[in-house]
Structure 1
């Protein structure tokens, strides 16, 4: 049996995978030439050379101009996918916790080009098959969520004057806005990055008669939503959240993805 000396390698049942993981464990520490990989893994030089070349063909390893080997672009992409998956799980936990606390449907919206897209949602009602979902693209009228997006767009782009500009400035300063949409009360909260740019909008929606004050969400709900938005902001990548859009808010689209 081959003795692998690479640090932190848990050996499984498949020998070739153990050797490949040993090579990657060495490259995790930084670029290394072939003799350094051999020394770090405890494997024979012909074995390391053969595996490194094979891993290079698969994009798991790459070589620089000095002939040193390093982690390849495919692993970089996989790491990004894993990070996004972990972030998605954390965001879904936040949405579920907020629904449990408020009893409202909770959604997270981002802007992609000229569309406003619901990237995650946790609804109030459960169907026989599980959580209720809405699928497809549906045109929406102006509402609190759209007003938050436009507040950042118009402020950054210099759009709007007078009362319109003042309303946008107030939304940006407060960080949230609420209002009625088709018989439901909607609270929209800005999710901003460290630079103050808008990354997403968190929304709560439910029948207005179910809220404590009838026509608006109470202070506790708003505070909880803003705290959730602050936690989400650290996990959410910015993806064209403030891209220029058609100024007519009714032209925005929503695509809902089940959670």
Structure 2
């Protein structure tokens, strides 16, 4: 069930929320993803639905509810408050477009970006939703997830469990034409408290400019940028 606060019912409730955030979930899916007994998972999911923290899709599966967006809109976000400054520094240092992604269920969302002012660019618009199945940003956001979530995401992924193990070992990911032909990218995790990955910071550009092994060259500057974002989040 991931992290434990010591308050059992709270941990189980958060586990159910996370399970629904991983993709539309029937009761059997909630049980499989959380390991919580069926009756308990059902009781918690229905209670969360009453409070609009979960909702149902047209097939009756549990999905994140509208109250989550309302709470998010009311919250300050130290990560985003620092993102523009840090991404601009990363873009200027690396010489390529920079992006910040957060996971949203089976997608990753570009929550901040800094584009090159000129030359050939790999534009990712702010708010763009990209799949969690390809690209270095997806690898980073997937690599530190609980095993059950990783298994779910790997079902359609262009990368393997072995790739994710290597990402965790070295602390960064790279992809060459994995999500889009001719595009290379390198990404690093942004950690929050308890070594939880809260975002992926990325640099992307044409393969002809980044080359086919950009990770070793760009990983140190990405790690520095990620650390600056982590400091802003603490």
TM-score scaled by length of structure 1: 0.49
In proportion to residue count, which structure has more helix?
2
CA distance in 2, matches of 1:171, 1:191: 13
CA distance in 2, matches of 1:220, 1:133: 22
SS at match of 1:235: helix
SS at match of 1:209: helix
Is the alpha carbon distance of 1:165 and 1:206 closer, same or farther for their aligned partners in structure 2, counting shifts above 3 Å? closer
Runs of 4+ in structure 1 off by over 6 angstroms are none
Matched length: 151
TM-score scaled by length of structure 2: 0.54
Q: Give yes or no for contact 2:143–2:150 (8 Å, CA) kept in 1.
A: no
**Is residue 171 of structure 1 aligned with residue 162 of structure 2?**
no
Q: Give yes or no for contact 1:155–1:169 (8 Å, CA) kept in 2.
A: no
Match of 1:103 in 2: 95
SS at match of 1:118: strand
**Is residue 153 of structure 1 aligned with residue 145 of structure 2?**
yes
What is the CA RMSD across the aligned residues, in angstroms? Answer: 3.4
CA distance in 1, matches of 2:127, 2:222: 26
Q: Give yes or no for contact 1:199–1:236 (8 Å, CA) kept in 2.
A: no
SS at match of 1:215: coil
Match of 1:235 in 2: 232
Q: Give yes or no for contact 2:96–2:116 (8 Å, CA) kept in 1.
A: yes
CA distance in 2, matches of 1:143, 1:187: 9
Is the alpha carbon distance of 1:96 and 1:217 closer, same or farther for their aligned partners in structure 2, counting shifts above 3 Å? same
CA distance in 1, matches of 2:165, 2:124: 34
Is the alpha carbon distance of 1:230 and 1:135 closer, same or farther for their aligned partners in structure 2, counting shifts above 3 Å? closer
CA distance in 2, matches of 1:138, 1:229: 21
Q: Unmatched 5+ residue regions in structure 2?
A: 1-71
Match of 2:202 in 1: 203
Q: Give yes or no for contact 1:155–1:165 (8 Å, CA) kept in 2.
A: no
Match of 1:134 in 2: 125
Q: Give yes or no for contact 1:144–1:179 (8 Å, CA) kept in 2.
A: yes
CA distance in 1, matches of 2:216, 2:148: 29
Is the alpha carbon distance of 1:188 and 1:136 closer, same or farther for their aligned partners in structure 2, counting shifts above 3 Å? closer
Q: CA deviation at 1:91?
A: 1.8
CA distance in 1, matches of 2:183, 2:189: 19
SS at match of 2:185: strand
CA distance in 2, matches of 1:192, 1:234: 9
Q: Give yes or no for contact 1:208–1:216 (8 Å, CA) kept in 2.
A: no
Is the alpha carbon distance of 1:142 and 1:93 closer, same or farther for their aligned partners in structure 2, counting shifts above 3 Å? same
Match of 1:222 in 2: 219
SS at match of 1:124: coil
Alignment of 1:182-201 (within 5 A): 182-201=181-200
Match of 2:80 in 1: 88
Q: CA deviation at 1:120?
A: 0.3
Match of 2:66 in 1: none
